[in-house]
């Protein structure tokens, strides 16, 4: 009897967690589906290289502005309605992308798409809602693995669909987003109680544009973790943006070979976030795993700049991919530990919004360094940013006492517990 009682809360927590991971997997499969086609669709509408980059920039800018807003609104309205609405916005943006007959319309469609894609902070808040502190890194890792797997499946589907017509991937991705919204609406349980009146909810949502900054200045731990995540994201996205040019310059590779390499990176990240990170956290705690991941990322990026042989290249990519897989879930977990239960969406949304800004800066910085100084310099710069992030991460961070966390259930699972400095 007692054994069954202990298993029941775990069963209840896992069901929405896996449903959320499935939602994220479908979401990012749709996003990965359009990635290979978007530059060519832009060129079809008369875009030059700078304007193709601008399409990525406006998408990331929308995420920077709206991820904190959606995260805060999910704290007030609940996770389910905000995630459902954001998926419907994504579906509409993809239809607009397919119908765009000019470059300004395409830019507008991608900005709307960035608003719809600003639900990642809300999705991470779901993990905070339904996991105990000792399970949280594993839950965040599952979300990260779903993102990585979506980036593996999506481009593969794009390769199959692209010969059917330039606009076909956008229509299919839009249908996928619409189906995803229906799945969330019909099957996903609400994990967070709404609060406040409607007027206060709307005010709080838009105030999140500024309250994230205010909270970061007031709470040093949140500021440090957001800074770590920002530096890490700039470094990794700079590598993603410039790697194809580097491999073309060094090995003469084209789109096919680079597609294989990014699949290799994606698989390693999925393996790391999908299972290994939870075991590592149990052994060493979230802060130490995050620091180890940042060290691996920094070393991997610096070594990548000197990778002139394929075997060495694959090894350095493995090092930095393992580092990425360790950092992403642990920094989100530590942010959730640092935030009160009623502001999880706002805090995680603010962090993801700043990551969106990093995804604007990273590619621009990488392109500038590549053109002005040399092919390997963006990787060295990224490695230096990784080392700076390590320095930010060295001071003690709030980590729940494992002995106390192991007996936390129900509402206690949602509340940051007593912390021990490691």
In a domain, 385, yes or no: yes
Write out the two tokens for 351.
């962090």
Q: Identify the pLDDT of residue 311.
A: 94
Tell me: the pLDDT tens digits for 50-83? 677 677 778 888 888 888 888 778 878 888 888 8
For 165, left (φ over 0), alpha (ψ -120 to 50), or beta? Answer: left
Give percent of the chain above pLDDT 90.
26
Q: Is residue 132 in some structural domain?
A: yes
User: What's the CATH code of the domain at 212?
Assistant: 1.20.1250.20
> Distance between CA 124 and CA 202 in Å, rounded?
21
Confidence of residue 213 (pLDDT cuts 50, 70, 90): low
Longest dimension (CA), the chain: 69
**Is position 2 within any domain?**
no
Whether the pLDDT of residue 316 is over 60: the answer is: yes
Structure confidence at residue 416 (pLDDT):
38
Residue 374's CB: how many other CB atoms inside 10 A? 12
Residue-wise pLDDT for 350-408, tens only, equals 787 788 788 888 887 887 888 789 889 999 999 999 999 999 999 888 666 543 443 34
**Average pLDDT for residues 152-157, to the nearest whole number?**
80
**Structure-model confidence comparison of residues 30 and 109, the more confident one:** 109
Long-range contacts of 282-288 (CB under 8 A, 24+ apart): 282/134, 285/399, 285/422, 286/137, 286/330, 286/333, 286/334, 286/337, 286/397, 286/399, 287/330, 287/334, 287/393, 287/396, 287/397, 287/399, 287/422, 288/422
Q: What is the pTM of this model?
A: 0.72
Whether residue 329 lies inside any domain: the answer is yes
Closest CA to 181 of 79, 59, 86, 96: 86
Reported in sequence order, the residue ranges of 290-404 that DSSP labels E, i.e. its strands, are: 399-400
The predicted pLDDT at position 49 comes to: 62
Residue bearing the bigger pLDDT, 401 or 298: 298
pLDDT of residue 215: 60
DSSP 3-state of 400:
strand
Give yes or no for a contact between 17 and 142, defined as CB atoms under 8 angstroms apart.
yes
pLDDT at residue 38 above 70?
yes
Q: Which of 162, 236, 177 is nearest to 31 (CA)?
A: 177
Split into its structural domains, the chain has a count of 1
Radius of gyration of the chain, Cα coordinates, nearest whole angstrom: 21
pLDDT digits (tens, 9 = 90+) for 251-277: 988 766 776 787 788 888 888 887 788
| Strands of 207-313, DSSP E | none
Quote the domain boundaries for residue 300: 7-190+200-420
In a domain, 195, yes or no: no
pLDDT digits (tens, 9 = 90+) for 226-243: 999 999 999 998 888 778
């Amino acid at each position: 009897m007692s054994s069954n009682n202990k298993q029941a809360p775990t069963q209840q927590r896992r069901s929405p967690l896996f449903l959320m991971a499935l939602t994220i997997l479908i979401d990012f499969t749709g996003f990965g589906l359009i990635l290979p086609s978007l530059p060519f669709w832009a060129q079809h509408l008369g875009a030059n290289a700078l304007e193709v980059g601008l399409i990525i920039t406006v998408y990331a800018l929308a995420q920077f502005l709206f991820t904190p807003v959606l995260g805060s609104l999910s704290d007030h309205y609940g996770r389910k309605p905000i995630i459902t609405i954001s998926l419907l916005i994504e579906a509409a943006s993809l239809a607009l992308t397919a119908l765009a007959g000019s470059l300004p319309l395409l830019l507008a469609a991608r900005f709307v798409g960035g608003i719809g894609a600003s639900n990642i902070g809300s999705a991470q808040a779901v993990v905070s809602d339904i996991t105990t502190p000792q399970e949280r890194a594993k839950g965040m890792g599952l979300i990260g693995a779903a993102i990585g797997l979506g980036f593996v499946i999506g481009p593969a589907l794009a390769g199959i669909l692209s010969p059917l017509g330039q606009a076909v991937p956008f229509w299919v991705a839009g249908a996928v987003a619409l189906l995803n919204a229906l799945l969330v609406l019909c099957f996903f349980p609400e994990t967070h109680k709404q609060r406040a009146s409607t007027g206060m909810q709307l005010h709080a949502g838009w105030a999140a544009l500024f309250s994230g900054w205010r909270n970061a200045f007031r709470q040093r731990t949140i500021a440090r973790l957001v800074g770590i995540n920002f530096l890490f994201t700039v470094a990794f996205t700079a590598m993603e943006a410039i790697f194809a040019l580097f491999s073309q310059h060094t090995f003469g590779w084209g789109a096919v070979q680079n597609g294989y390499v990014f699949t290799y990176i994606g698989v390693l990240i999925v393996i790391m976030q999908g299972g290994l990170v939870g075991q590592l956290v149990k052994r060493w705690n979230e802060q130490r795993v995050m620091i180890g991941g940042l060290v691996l990322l920094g070393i991997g990026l610096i070594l990548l700049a000197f990778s002139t042989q394929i075997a060495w290249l694959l090894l350095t990519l493995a090092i930095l991919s393992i580092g990425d897989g360790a950092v992403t879930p642990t920094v989100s977990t530590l942010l959730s530990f640092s935030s009160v239960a009623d502001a999880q969406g706002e805090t995680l949304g603010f962090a993801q919004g700043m990551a969106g800004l990093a995804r604007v800066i990273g590619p621009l910085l990488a392109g500038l360094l590549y053109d002005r100084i040399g092919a390997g310099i963006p990787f060295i710069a990224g490695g230096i940013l990784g080392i700076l992030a390590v320095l930010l991460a060295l001071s003690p961070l709030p980590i729940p006492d494992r002995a106390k966390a192991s007996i936390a259930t129900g509402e206690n699972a949602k509340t940051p517990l007593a912390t021990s400095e490691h």
